[in-house]
Structure 1
Amino acid sequence: MDLVVHAERLPARGETLLGGAFATFSGGKGANQAVAAARLGASVAMLGCIGDDAFGAQLRDGLRNERIDTAHLHTADHTSSGIAVITVAADGANTIVVSPGANAALTPGHVDAAQDAIDDAGMLICQLEVPLDTVRHAISAAARLGTPVLLNPAPAQPLPDALYRQVSVLVVNETEAHLLTDVPVDGPASARDAATRLRAKGVETVIVTLGAAGVWYSSDAEEGHLPAPRVDAIDTTAAGDTFVGGFAAERVRGASIRDAIDFGQRAAALSVTRRGAQASIPTQAEVRAQSPLAAAIR
């Protein structure tokens, strides 16, 4: 559950800042990405853990309302649901601190119980708000079953080299790319350098999201820079998750990597014009109403 307070700016270290409006929104990277994929046209099943508290009940109901399969959404007894404390500045920038709660209770055993769902999937999406050992187990299962894997390594942490070779699509932002490659990323040129290093580890396709500067992508077939749609951002919470869900939904439908990125970017651009995490995610019809971006800039 996202606990969101708005302020004119982000506080400095040690500063107490008087904020404005406060609200709660259903969130969590995995759930955000699941909701995004579902609203953007995919059939989605969610594997995760919630607490036996009021937030957990709300989170489960929210996923069901999006027609997401929650058969593998487990309740951890005597545990709080995960929360994120989020400050959003007037320009849309944010800071986020996550307390994992029940997310930490997701085990390889839960993954084993979901083998049929992973086998049937067109893509498995993973992020790192659950234990890394569980993520590794899920990715290994998907690789064994022939299911493509999209990994969004956030919150960023070092990854074992063997994991990269099992990942079909790695989606990272500037901070994550820097941590994983030691390349400071501040634009398309440095993003290309970081993507080259990550692809050398065995990833099939690397996508580096650059916020308002767009996306750099690199695969065996092509690489390039796609600019982002120009919008007036008011809240960037879940923009990256919206991109991931949109990209995955479009890719599973058979779109090319470039077209799937374009679709994901347009979905993310709409999301930053609205407040909240899942509340900000657009529908497939809303994204289709926009014009596709121009050809990639080489």
Structure 2
Amino acid sequence: MIKITQREFEIIEIIKKNPFVSQQEIAEALQITRSSVAVHITNLTRKGIIRGRGYVVDERDHVSVIGGANMDIVGYPFHELKRQDSNPGGVKVSLGGVGRNIAENLARLGTHTKMFTVVGEDIYGDQIIKESEKIGIDMSHVKRVQEEGTGTYLAILDHENDMDLAIASMNIFKKLDRKYLEDSKQVILKSQVIVFDTNLEEEIFRYGVDLFKENDLFLDTVSHTKALRAKSVIGAFHTIKPNRLEAEALSGIAIQDYHDLEKACGFFHSEGVKNVFITLGPEGVFYSDGLKNGMMKAPKMTPKNATGAGDAFQAALVYSELHGFPIKDKVRFAIGASVMAMNAYETINPDLSESEIRKIMKKVEEMK
């Protein structure tokens, strides 16, 4: 992420108001020398924040996430889960939604993140907006509707704290429509990266991808069924992270071994995808950028809650892209973030940070 000083920020604000302002006028406004202004202008130009005369400001300073936001209700048993019976255990209620979770992970990593979603005019909608804003997500563009209740995700974990069963009540996302995307277009176009999850209705999903195809698009497939919504537009994405089943559905290639993974990635690259990360559960992650490929595996652990691992992985991929990590470090960083997610009872680890992830990166194994 590009860092700017306070003085540079002040200069940018002046230029936004008057792109043809002179360096002397900037100097007088800030009560500094013209030569100091010239140095700051040179630095801002090198950073790519301003371009030429009259000082066109590149405002691509944020990540936009377009997708689901809902309440998560998660139940977990104290002992081995018994079907068709009442199990002693605990229940947690927290903010959720694939898109919103990705946005929170990004915000906790210090990334300026704007959320584009729809919630109800109800208590859950109020809670999602208020708590997300406290975390640092920009929720000012979220659409609110009265006709549907805020999305709700109900999950039952097994005795190893992995998901056994879930129900997703997401009818409200039919209200995330063309008009909403059009109304938000100018803000979204200024994104460094745009993340789509497939909770959008298929026609709206494809419309949004086409609308923003000139930006770097990242795809979160959400589930095997919803992943199919991306099949016809998969080539528009810069980065994708399907699991094995989703990769098979999107590529039409059955994946049984390493060669099949290479073949599936070859298909995605031929369609236009730059980076492919296929998650394989305990077996690790297969990665490819068209030039390099391989597999990496997380250190062994018993998860406290595995439901947020994929969201953390996706956010880490975005973060590592913004910071110019090489492909192998992207994988290590993303695996590290997912391990941190699984090490917390919450869906999102409140202690998530680059420094904490880097401690785990050292333990990530490259498979031979």
Aligned to 2:116: 47
Match of 1:164 among 234, 237, 247: 234
How far apart are residue 186 of structure 1 and its match? Answer: 6.5
1:214 and 2:284 correspond? yes
Equivalent position to 1:23, from 72, 92, 100:
92
> How many aligned positions are there?
294
Deviation at 1:258, TM superposition (A): 2.2
1:234 aligns with 2:304: yes
Alignment pair present for 1:255 and 2:299:
no
- What is the DSSP-based 3-state SS (H/G/I as helix, E as strand, rest coil) of the residue aligned with 1:96? strand
The answer as to 2:198 corresponding to 1:128 is: yes
2:131 to 56, 62, 68: 62
**TM-score if structure 2 supplies the norm length?**
0.73
2: CA distance between counterparts of 1:83 and 1:192?
37
Q: Which residue of 1 aligns with 2:47?
A: none
SS state of the match for residue 89, structure 2? coil
Aligned to 1:138: 208
Query: Per-residue deviation at 1:181?
Result: 3.6
Whether 1:151 aligns to 2:219 is yes
Paired AA for residue 116 in structure 2: L
Shift of 1:261: 1.9
Deviations 1:110-148 (A, max 9, x none): 1112222222211111111121222222221221xx310
Query: 2:161: which partner in 1?
Result: 92
Native 8 Å contact 1:44 1:69 kept in 2: yes
Query: What's the RMSD between the two structures over aligned residues?
Result: 2.3
Q: Are residues 1:72 and 2:144 paired?
A: no
Pick aligned residue for 2:353 from 275, 283, 286: 283
Instruction: Give the superposition deviation at 1:156.
Output: 2.8
| Residue identity opposite 2:224 in structure 1 | A
Letter in structure 2 aligned against 1:172: P
Residue range with higher mean Cα deviation, 73-82 or 196-205: 196-205
2:232 counterpart of 1:179: no
Amino acid paired to 1:148: D
Q: Which has the higher contact order (CA 8 A, sep 6+)?
A: 1
TM-score (norm 1): 0.89
How far is the alpha carbon of 1:17 from its aligned partner?
4.6
- Specify the alignment match of 2:362 in structure 1: 292
Q: Deviations over 1:231-273 (max 9, x none)?
A: 2212101110110011111211221232122111101101111
Which deviates more, 40-49 or 273-282? 273-282
3-state DSSP of counterpart to 2:110 = coil
| Matching residue within 294, 305, 325 for 1:224 | 294
Confirm or deny: 8 A CA contact 2:343 2:349 kept in the other structure.
Answer: no
Is the 8 Å Cα contact of residues 104 and 137 (structure 2) preserved in structure 1? yes
Is this contact kept in 2: 1:83–1:101, CA < 8 A?
A: no
Report deviation, 1:160: 5.9
Q: What's the offset of the Cα at 1:70? A: 1.1
TM-superposed deviation, 1:177: 2.1
Shift of 1:290: 3.5
Larger Rg: 2
- Contact kept, 8 Å, 1:84 with 1:99, in 2: the verdict is yes
- What is the DSSP-based 3-state SS (H/G/I as helix, E as strand, rest coil) of the residue aligned with 1:50? strand
Q: Following the alignment from structure 2 to structure 1, what is the Cα–Cα distance between the partners of residues 90 and 284?
A: 30
Question: Helix, strand or coil: the match of 2:249?
Answer: helix
For 1:273 and 1:160, how far apart are their aligned partners in 2?
Answer: 31
Q: Measure, in 1, the Cα distance between the counterparts of 2:231 and 2:223.
A: 18
Helix, strand or coil: the match of 2:154?
strand
State the alpha-carbon separation in 1 of the partners of residues 125 and 247 from structure 2. Answer: 32
Distance 1:161 1:214, change over 3 A: closer
**Conserved 8 A contact 2:206-2:230:** no
Residue in structure 2 matching 1:108, options 175, 178, 182: 178
Q: Any stretches of 5+ residues in structure 1 without a counterpart?
A: none
- Matched letter for residue 202 of structure 1: G
